[in-house]
Structure 1
Amino acid sequence: MLYVVLIPLLLACLIPFISKMKHNIHTGIPVLLIPSAIFIYFIRFVGTNFEPMRQSYNWIPSLGINFDFYLDGLSLLFALLISGIGALVVLYSIYYLDSQERLGHFYVYLLMFMSAMLGIVLSDNIFVLYTFWELTSISSFLLIGYWHFNEKSRYGALKSLLITVLGGLSMFGGFILLSVMTGTSSIQIMIQNAEVIMNSPYMPLALGFILLGAFTKSAQFPFHIWLPDAMEAPTPVSAYLHSATMVKAGLFLVARFSPIFAGFEWFFIIVSIAGIVTLCWGSYMAVHQTDLKAILAFSTISQLGMIMAMLGFGTKLAIFAAVFHILCHATFKGSLFMVAGIVDHEAGTRDIRNLGGLMTLMPMSAALALFGTFSMAGIPLPFLNGFYSKELFFKSTLKLPEGTHVITTFLVEVIPYLAVFGSIFTFVYSLYFLFGTFGGQKQLDKLPKRPHEAPVGMLIAPLVLVLGVIIIGLFPNAFNGAFIAHAAESVAGTEVIKEITFWHGFGSTAFQMSLVVVAAGILLVSTRRKWSMIYSFVPGRASANHIYDAAIAQLDNGSRHINTFIMTGSLRRYMAIILGTVFLITFGFMLATGGFTIDFSNLADVTITEIAVVLVIIAAAVGTIFTKHNLGAILVAGVVGYGVSLLFVIYRAPDLALTQLVVETISVALFLLCFYHLPKLRNEKPQVRTRWINGTVSIGFGALMTLIGISAHSSDWFSSISDYFLETSHSLGGGDNVVNVILVDMRGLDTLFEITVLGIAALAIYSLIKLKNNRGAK
């Protein structure tokens, strides 16, 4: 499975070369082969006899971090969605995106995202999962901001990145707590040790951190504000990220960790409230939108809230309904996003106020939208999968778990009514989208161009998804037995519903709730203009976006003020702030914790040679303060370095002595080479205040370093590691020069990152030289 996850990333490295051949072949055609092959790979596991699979590959075994992959029913469902809809999105994008677009960039970002999502749903190691989780945030940021010349695209990309990364960091904190509680980084082993986690005092904190990560990624209220702005991305991105994959990553996270936290009553309270509020708010706000993709964005928010609520209920019926609706939602919402893109592509606008009457001009698109919206609305027809999952949702609200908390009792009573309320507005925005676009009178004079039906190639992908809506609706139990039941059982930990049925009789409370939704929905649709003024009161001017914008503005202003105060161009001030801060924090912490320890009982005798060398070093260091000439300051500073080299020789450290000599020689030579460009030393005396600050910071920091050095030598908190290096340098590192073995093998990562820093610095210097030369040429 490692290769399945990494193949999209590997192909992404080849896209820049493939995109150069776009005059001969569209870049999307070879890309299409990757998700198609991955889908075929995973479809092999679909069946009634499916058993979970585990594969492990070493990465950092010393830290317990390996590429551990686990394929069960839940991860199989998501892998099929990621690869299957990914293939359809790539096919759709071939016809949607102009050949003059930066197709190489687009497909690199898309493949990065596909690989990251596969990594999330297949990872059994929490730290590997987190790595892929953040990769989805980065790749989605690039995809949302693909049209970076558009200010709204940049705004939406930044908003999504800030909110989802904030949640990701919170989730990472929860993962660390789980790892500490269980002593493992394997999710499946954590599930087996759920009782240990439940009895830990850190469990509520871990739950809160993980849920924050899930809520931000799946756009739960009030973190939903990034999703509508993300609609500035190209429609293939919206159809892929914001209906079928990325926004469902949070749902996957809650589902995966449900076996651990489901027994905690506050899990039901928090997740159910977040989900049901998101359902109601998203569906209510969708009716108020005028942009087709904005309508679908808020409808996605509401549908995600519905699924999240069912995961919060935690009953077997609710879990099955949640998993089933994940599949249903991916089919009808993906097709609707593509239809919205077709309308925008062919009519030149997504503003529903300027649309209408397109049914006769775009009959195929209208038919696809009809099936998609009716399924989303939950119209009681046997060939629409959305009705089945909505009925199961209503049933699950009627069989909520009992609890001891007063909030639980209240939720059990009120959630069914809120479910009906949210579903009524779901019905309204579904018909609003359909008839506002394809019904009514034509307004061709308001359209940038005369609309016509899309090319066949652009219709294939939404047609396949709509066929999925119909086929799942006609044969739900075929899909249930093949993989839906397996996915639900992976979450519930036990056998779930056996059969999905359409008709339960007029006496069924769930069916009666559906009739109320349809009746009230028709009434609200027919009178929408009469009651739409309610949006001027709720939400009115109140908006979570205003809070976000104000927070970002305050952050920018605060950073600007701090930057203006600190960045004055004075190196002396920079050093004073840095060293003074280090001194205050370190000295205060060590003093409060008893870190200072002075013990001279085990020191070697000091010889006259050592004293003489140290006195020379001190004299040279003090001399740099009073030297009034550049050349003199360079030479005196060199005396300090060479004096330290002599100390290394006296203490029998030839490697360090040679290194110090080389560094000092090069430094002095470089200073002399740059001598001409150095500023002349000023002879005027600094102000009294400046001298006091300089003296305080210098003496304080120097005294701190001296005390730390003495305390480190005097303390015996840990056993010395030098013996380990001496004993293992040959066997582990293959060398007898212990210092070299430490640098290359024992601390190889340190050396690697030091080389990386130097490499980046070299590239930056080279870029600056090239930039200067280019400007000179102009």
Structure 2
Amino acid sequence: MTLIHLAILLPVIAAIAVGILYRYYRRIHLGWFVLPVPLLIVIYLFTLMPQVMNGQVIHETMQFMPRVGMNFDVYIDGLGLLFAILISGIGALVVLYSIGYLSTRENLGNFYVYLLIFMTAMLGVVLNDNVVMLYLFWELTSISSFLLIAFWYTRDRSLYGALKSMIITMFGGFLMLGGFITLYLITDTFSIRGMIEALPLIQESPLTPIAVVLILFGAFTKSAQFPFYIWLPDAMEAPTPVSAYLHSATMVKAGIYLVARFTPLFAFSNLWVWTILIVGLFTMAWASFNAIKKDDLKAVLAFSTVSQLGLIMSLLGLGALSLVTGANDELFTVAVVAAVFHTINHATFKGALFMIIGIIDHETGTRSLKRLGGLLTIMPFSFTMTVITALSMAGLPPFNGFLSKELFLEAMITVLHADFGAMTSVDFLIPLVAIVGSIFTFIYSVLIIHGIFFGKRTHDTPKEPHEAPLLMLISPAILSLLVIVFGLFPNILSSTIIDPAAMGIMASETSLHTHLAMWHGFNNPALWATIAVVIIGTLLFYFKDKWIFIYNYHKEPFTLNYAYDQGLLYSRFGSKKITDSYMTGYLRNYLVYIFGFFILMGLLTVINTGLRLDLSDLAPVRIQEIIITLIILIATAVILITRSRMVAIIMLGTIGFSMALFFVFFRAPDLALTQLGIETVTTALFLVCFYHLPKKSRHEERMRFKFTNLLVSLGVGTFVILIGLAAYSNRLFDSISEFHIENVYDLAAGGNMVNVILVDFRGFDTLFETLVFAIAGIGIYGLMKLKLSRKGEDNEEHAEESRV
């Protein structure tokens, strides 16, 4: 295991230690033990930055399942390093913030174990070159996210949000796996680098559109793109540190990473680029429009996150579009650089905003905008950080969000001067939708500031408001400071992170030299677009009461959430109906299903492959065998028609003892003795059990004849005989019995062939069969103890009721 692999797996290793530590040390906040883990990782990742800046790619392989091509291949370029630094850096700040946010009365052991597992999962996603391992870590993010969202599992909304997020994201992840398998069928490799090298095969394959659609399902569900965004607002039921970590900087960026990583593979596909561009732009505008009507601050941030993710997604689509059409190479560079830069900026201002909203909730007891207001003088530090981060989100100078929003608007406006073929006639819609989305982004950003800190305190809050303790202010203060620093000095990121990450998206060795500046002169169209956004946004905010009624027309039955809930309801109802139709509780029905399927498969096999029987070598049937067979048939028929339990037991024993006679005639005395012993014991047990059963039962009633059962019985018997004869007639290998006959004494020093086979030649089979008996015995013992303990509890409850 290399140092890079250790860095990825360090959080999950620490999770094991944390789980053990929490059992013995609960007086000290567990977060202090967890904090060094992401700090060590981010420090190590910064040591790799000089190599990546020089264009080097770090590639390490650790064999995991080499025979199926599933290896732990770490591949670190600028793109992977950027996301890994965000995951570990924001993770360290979130852990520090959680120390002040979460009380030691919470189940901190579970919280930090889940958080560390998630950290490993995200690092595994962004630093993996093997798509199968990427999928493994991808689904691990969904599972750990489910556990984190459901941390307060006693709340119904927490469970609902956790289940909703897991259903949607794992559904997309499963489809994404299908896309990976499709790419493997095309390129014969699971390596992303290998797939890029085999690009001509992907371009010519008819399976490529299938891979594109399936992989985009995974990206859109994870990054909450329309129409799959509905899980993200409900995920806000998680503790605020989880929201700040998963739903601003890391998990929701996994889909962004996936699209960026696979852009070199699919940039030639119109299906890929237009889908990403259109879905991203629509998601941005739709989510920003819906954020304004929310009263819960975390819901506002949830929709704003969806909107910002749509913005980044649209930039990746536009960059790929300009690449495939050859419309404008500069447009491609601007779009990709803007996507990378805004990914960094969004992590800073949105992570800080989530933490600040957590502070508001923690110190006032509410997140409702209707109950907040007038906190400017009470919480001045929180106000300052909110202004910095919210205005950055709105795209105003001198903050970092202004720079990346300017690049976004510049890229979208440049579309008007590009040639996109058939879409050129409607290309004006692209900058129009971008500007509309930016206007609503400005409105909800101002709404957050105004709703919390300005106006009068017209409602009492559950808690008396006061400023948060220092421990909770450090993390958002650091992120707010980065918002200012990256805004005033953006070029400290240009050559160190942005350029290498953009080169990773382009999969090109051509070096970039990006220069970012706050001012580009009055001839910059993006500047005038920003001014228009601010003016229109200010007017709409001021006259909000005049147009807010339009949200009343969006009724609940016409929402995606309603469709999701109804879909679950009908699927649950339909599933219950279908399940109840075959899960009848009667063993005889289950046997009909099993044996009926066996007959159906047998018929299909015979029809497709034919049936060759060779009966020339069969031994002659002797008179004693005919007599025993008749006895077995008569005994079976008597069992079916008799109403007496005693007669049925005797006939069942007759069948077993007759089979023992067959073993005697076939010169297998050991099997005959075994059969006789088993039949004797089971017959005696049947007699004992039946003696204690009620006098009346369905068995004593007249049993109705069922033609279906007759067909199934005859079919099973016929196919078993045919299978036996076919196996005897088509011997593909020499019988192994000769090997046992020749070697039973020399190799095992035994005289009884059967015993030697069981103990020596098939010793592991016998061992595991013994283990199965042991497990079954433990299970039976556990059931007995459970029954006894429940009886004891019932007696105690009854005694308590009597005393009352």
Matches within 5 A, 1:140-289: 140-289=145-294
Q: Does 1:360 align with 2:377?
A: yes
- Residue in 2 aligned with 1:323? 340
What are the equivalent positions in structure 2 for 1:684-699 lying under 5 Å apart? 684-688=701-705, 691-699=706-714
Change (3 A) 1:30 1:374: same
C-alpha distance in structure 2 between counterparts of 1:755 and 1:131, whole Å:
35
User: Contact 2:249–2:347 at 8 Å: present in 1 too?
Assistant: yes
SS of residue paired to 1:398 = helix
Equivalence for 2:650: 632
Is residue 271–residue 311 contact of structure 1 (8 Å, CA) maintained in 2? yes
Q: Which residue of 1 aligns with 2:360?
A: 343
**Could you say what secondary structure the match of 1:57 adopts?**
strand
Match of 2:447 in 1: 432
1:335-414 paired onto structure 2 within 5 Å: 335-381=352-398, 384-400=399-415, 406=422, 408-409=423-424, 412-414=427-429
- Matched with 1:562 is 578
Q: What secondary structure, in the 3-state scheme, does the structure 1 residue paired with 2:368 have? A: coil
Match of residue 536 from structure 2? 520
Q: Match of 1:774, as an amino acid?
A: S
Contact 1:316 1:497 in 2 (8 A): no
1:58 offset after TM fit, Å?
1.7
Judge conservation of contact 2:62–2:73 (CA < 8 Å) in 1. Answer: yes
Q: Per the alignment, do residues 22 and 605 of structure 1 end up closer, same or farther by CA in structure 2, a change over 3 Å counting?
A: same
Q: CA deviation at 1:635?
A: 3.0
Residue ranges of structure 2 left out of the alignment (5+ in a row): 321-331, 750-755, 794-804
Q: Does 1:135 align with 2:151?
A: no
Q: Deviations over 1:349-380 (max 9, x none)?
A: 00011101111111111111111101100003
Map of 2:520 onto structure 1: 504
Could you tell me whether the CA contact under 8 Å between 2:656 and 2:676 is conserved in 1? no
What is the deviation of 1:192? 1.1
**Take 1:138 and 1:606, find their aligned partners in 2: how far apart are those partners?**
61
- Paired residue secondary structure (1:59): strand
Give the CA RMSD over aligned residues. Answer: 3.6
Q: Distance in 2 between matches of 1:340 and 1:331?
A: 14
Cα distance in 1 for residues equivalent to 2:664 and 2:536: 91
Could you report, residue by residue, the CA deviation over 1:49-98 in whole angstroms, capped at 9, with x for unpaired residues?
Answer: 25211111222211111112211111111111111111111111111112
Counterparts of 1:121 and 1:190 in 2: how far apart (Å)?
Answer: 17
Partner deviation per Cα, 1:280-325 (whole Å, 9 max, x = no partner): 1110000110000000000000011111111112223212211211
Taking the aligned partners of 2:119 and 2:294, their CA distance within structure 1 comes to: 30
CA distance, structure 2, for counterparts of residue 535 and residue 661 of structure 1: 81
Partner of 2:115: 110
| Correspondences of 1:294-333 after superposition (within 5 Å) | 294-313=299-318, 314=320, 315-333=332-350
2:619 to 601, 606, 609: 606
Q: Distance in 2 between matches of 1:190 and 1:138?
A: 28
* Displacement of 1:567: 3.1
Aligned match of 1:477: 491
Q: State TM-score, norm by structure 2.
A: 0.85
Distance change (3 Å), C-alpha of 1:414 and 1:575: same
Question: Unpaired runs of 5+ in structure 1?
Answer: none
The structure with the largest alpha-carbon Rg is 2
When structure 1 is superposed on structure 2, of 735-744 and 49-58 the one drifting more is 735-744
- Could you say which residue in structure 2 is the equivalent of 1:552? 568
Contact kept in structure 1, 2:340 and 2:502, CA below 8 Å: yes
1:90 aligns with 2:106: no
| C-alpha displacement of 1:492 | 0.8
Cα offset for 1:113? 1.1
**Mapped pair 1:40 → 2:43:** yes
Q: Is the 1:19–1:27 contact (alpha carbons within 8 Å) kept by the matching residues of 2?
A: yes
CA distance in 2, matches of 1:159, 1:556: 14
The aligned amino acid for 2:465 is P
* Native 8 Å contact 2:249 2:351 kept in 1: yes
- Contact (CA 8 Å) 1:642, 1:664: kept in 2 or not? no
Aligned positions of 1:636-655 closer than 5 A? 636=654, 638-639=656-657
CA distance in 2, matches of 1:756, 1:402: 71
Q: TM-score when scaled to structure 1?
A: 0.88
Report SS of the residue matched to 1:682. helix
One-letter amino acid matched to 2:391: F
Q: 9, 12, 21: which is aligned to 1:9? A: 12
When residues 177 and 479 of structure 1 are mapped into structure 2, their CA distance, relative to the original with a 3 A threshold, is: same
Is the contact between residue 620 and residue 640 of structure 1 (CA under 8 Å) also seen in structure 2?
no
After superposition, give the CA deviation of every residue in 1:146-170 in whole Å (9 maximum; x if it has no partner): 1111111111111111111111111
Q: State the alpha-carbon separation in 2 of the partners of residues 771 and 277 from structure 1.
A: 56
AA matched with 1:217: K
Q: Secondary structure at the match of 1:115?
A: helix
Provide the C-alpha distance between the structure 2 equivalents of 1:526 and 1:167, rounded to a whole number of angstroms: 41
What is the distance in 2 between the residues matched to 1:756 and 1:322? 57
Quickly say closer, same or farther: Cα 1:637–1:281, change in 2 above 3 A: farther
Tell me the residue number matched to 1:542.
558
> How do 1:748-763 and structure 2 match up within 5 A?
none
CA distance in 2, matches of 1:397, 1:40: 37
SS at match of 1:698: helix
Sequence identity, in percent? 44
Equivalent position amino acid for 1:216 in 2: T
2:31–2:96 Cα contact (<8 Å) kept: yes
SS in 2 for 1:446: coil
